[in-house]
């Protein structure tokens, strides 16, 4: 049976953990949704004007940083990007907006929501999300934020027939509809149909659950896995689906690591495996046939391959099969397969 090493393979929520104490914009979607319920016009305008000033400043700073980098320089002459790309808060904000909130992110695995009413939660940047399987078997994803005063609705993972806000008891169905709002008698212009949880696009690819934070498609629930695969993996969809991302992969265990670095450092390290492994991981290197190491870059995907000899590997950590294969999907998703790939 192929082994899915969850700890080394995903995901967005882990990567954001690396950064969450720094660079996170202080305002978020949550405050916006909350304020809508009280005095929509006045507060929304105040929110928008202050956010517009701070985000335009940040954008200018970040764009100036981007200009420091010349993508036309041939790879043989290139240097590492400027250090500000790894340390400047405005650059990180730009990355959230342009990279992480546009496109698909693997956030979990299907076995977490195998049965109706199961759910799990996570966070990407400043966005809290909850993913569940509703009573009809559909996978749903929402901002994990109550529409009243922005309390978090759910935490961790488990099983629920509905989401009950722990603050004032508003209750939402697993399809996101507001089922009960406590003590609202006399409140004017309250439209229960407009106060459901804010949806995110959700989809499954192989054993992974993906969500899409693109604000342009918030109202859409996604079920077309072919379209999702094409959007997420680009032209390498076929290669990955036939050789790497298989529904038959089974969940074994989850390990979490907190790494004190910018998320790109972690990705850089993953992608230069053939370079650093002989020096930094001598134990692993002794089980690899490094002369066979190769890296192939496809559209959004990098695939590193190396022959391995499981007999030489550490007995308690069967990391090597007869071939090691490391797939990286832009921007931050990594899959290690240790089987013979034909």
In the bound state with ligand FES, the residue whose beta carbon lies nearer, of 33 and 92, is 33
Say if residues 107 and 130 touch (Cβ distance below 8 Å): no
Q: What are phi and psi of 4, to 5 degrees?
A: -100, 115
Report which secondary-structure segment, H or E, holds 92: helix 89-95
Q: Does 190 bind ligand FES (CB under 6 A)?
A: no
Q: Cα separation of 286 and 309, whole Å?
A: 9
Stretch that binds ligand FES, among 104-112, 142-150, 239-247, 279-287 (CB under 6 A): 142-150
Say if residues 263 and 19 touch (Cβ distance below 8 Å): yes
In the bound state with ligand FES, the residue whose beta carbon lies nearer, of 147 and 201, is 147
Applying the rule CB under 6 A, the residues between 274 and 293 that interact with ligand FES are none
What is the DSSP pairing of strand 3-5 with strand 250-253? parallel
Q: Does 167 bind ligand FES (CB under 6 A)?
A: yes
Question: Shortest distance, CB of residue 35 to ligand FES, whole angstroms?
Answer: 12
Question: Shortest distance, CB of residue 286 to ligand FES, whole angstroms?
Answer: 56
Q: How far apart are the first and last CA of the chain?
A: 16
In the bound state with ligand FES, the residue whose beta carbon lies nearer, of 59 and 149, is 149
DSSP 265-276: HHHHHHHTHHHH
In the bound state with ligand FES, the residue whose beta carbon lies nearer, of 170 and 263, is 170
Question: Shortest distance, CB of residue 200 to ligand FES, whole angstroms?
Answer: 19
Question: Shortest distance, CB of residue 305 to ligand FES, whole angstroms?
Answer: 50
Question: Shortest distance, CB of residue 167 to ligand FES, whole angstroms?
Answer: 4
In the bound state with ligand FES, the residue whose beta carbon lies nearer, of 167 and 257, is 167
Q: Cα separation of 271 and 265, whole Å?
A: 10
The distance between the two most distant Cα atoms of the chain, rounded to a whole number of Å, is 75
Question: Shortest distance, CB of residue 39 to ligand FES, whole angstroms?
Answer: 16
Size of the site for ligand FES (CB under 6 A): 9
Say if residues 121 and 157 touch (Cβ distance below 8 Å): yes
Strand partners, 109: 208
Given candidates 92, 119, 142, 170, which one binds ligand FES under the rule CB under 6 A?
170
The neighbour count for residue 289, using CB atoms within 10 Å, is 15
Q: Cα separation of 320 and 294, whole Å?
A: 16
Given candidates 20, 168, 243, 298, which one binds ligand FES under the rule CB under 6 A?
168
Stretch that binds ligand FES, among 6-14, 126-134, 144-152, 286-294 (CB under 6 A): 144-152
In the bound state with ligand FES, the residue whose beta carbon lies nearer, of 34 and 51, is 34
CA angle 219, 221, 222 (to 5 degrees): 135
Question: Shortest distance, CB of residue 70 to ligand FES, whole angstroms?
Answer: 49
Report which secondary-structure segment, H or E, holds 89: helix 89-95
In the bound state with ligand FES, the residue whose beta carbon lies nearer, of 165 and 211, is 165
In the bound state with ligand FES, the residue whose beta carbon lies nearer, of 106 and 146, is 146
In the bound state with ligand FES, the residue whose beta carbon lies nearer, of 30 and 236, is 30
Question: Shortest distance, CB of residue 124 to ligand FES, whole angstroms?
Answer: 22
Rg, C-alpha atoms of the chain: 22
Q: Cα separation of 26 and 16, whole Å?
A: 15
Task: Write the binding mask 146 to 165 for ligand FES: x where contact by CB under 6 A, - elsewhere.
Answer: x-xx-x-------------x
Question: Shortest distance, CB of residue 165 to ligand FES, whole angstroms?
Answer: 3
Residue 299, judged by CB atoms within 10 A of its CB (0-12, 13-18, 19+), counts as exposed
Stretch that binds ligand FES, among 14-22, 46-54, 143-151, 242-250 (CB under 6 A): 143-151
Token representation of residue 187: 């409140």
Q: What are phi and psi of 211, to 5 degrees?
A: -135, 160
- Interacting residue ranges for ligand FES, rule: CB under 6 A: 146, 148-149, 151, 165, 167-170
């Amino acid at each position: 049976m192929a082994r899915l090493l969850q700890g080394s393979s995903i995901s967005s929520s882990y990567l954001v953990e690396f950064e969450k104490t720094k660079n996170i914009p202080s305002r978020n979607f949550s405050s916006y949704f909350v304020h809508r319920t009280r005095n929509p016009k006045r507060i929304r305008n105040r929110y928008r004007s202050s956010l517009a000033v701070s985000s335009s400043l940040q954008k200018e700073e970040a764009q100036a940083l981007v200009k420091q980098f010349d993508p036309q320089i041939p790879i043989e002459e290139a240097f590492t990007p400027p250090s500000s790309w790894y340390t400047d808060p405005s650059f990180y904000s730009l990355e959230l907006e342009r990279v992480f909130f546009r496109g698909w992110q693997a956030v979990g695995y299907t076995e977490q929501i195998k049965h109706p009413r199961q759910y799990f939660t996570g966070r990407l940047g400043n966005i809290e999300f909850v993913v569940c399987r509703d009573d009809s078997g559909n996978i749903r994803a929402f901002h994990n934020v109550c529409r009243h005063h922005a309390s978090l609705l759910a935490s961790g993972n488990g099983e629920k027939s509905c989401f009950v806000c722990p603050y004032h008891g508003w209750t939402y169905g697993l399809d996101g509809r507001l089922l009960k709002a406590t003590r609202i008698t006399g409140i004017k212009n309250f439209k229960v149909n407009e106060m459901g949880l804010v949806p995110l696009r959700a989809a499954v690819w192989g054993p992974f659950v993906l969500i899409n934070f693109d604000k342009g498609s918030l109202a859409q629930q996604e079920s077309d896995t072919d379209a999702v695969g094409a959007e997420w993996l680009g032209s390498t969809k076929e290669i990955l689906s036939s050789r790497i991302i298989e529904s038959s992969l089974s969940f074994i265990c989850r390990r979490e690591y907190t790494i004190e670095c910018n998320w790109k450092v972690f990705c850089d390290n993953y992608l230069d495996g053939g370079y650093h492994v002989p020096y930094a991981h001598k134990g692993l290197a002794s089980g690899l046939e490094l002369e066979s190491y190769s890296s192939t870059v496809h559209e959004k995907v990098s695939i590193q391959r190396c022959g391995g000899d499981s007999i030489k590997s550490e007995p308690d950590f069967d990391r090597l099969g007869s071939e090691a294969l490391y797939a990286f999907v832009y921007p931050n998703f990594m899959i290690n397969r240790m089987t013979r790939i034909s």
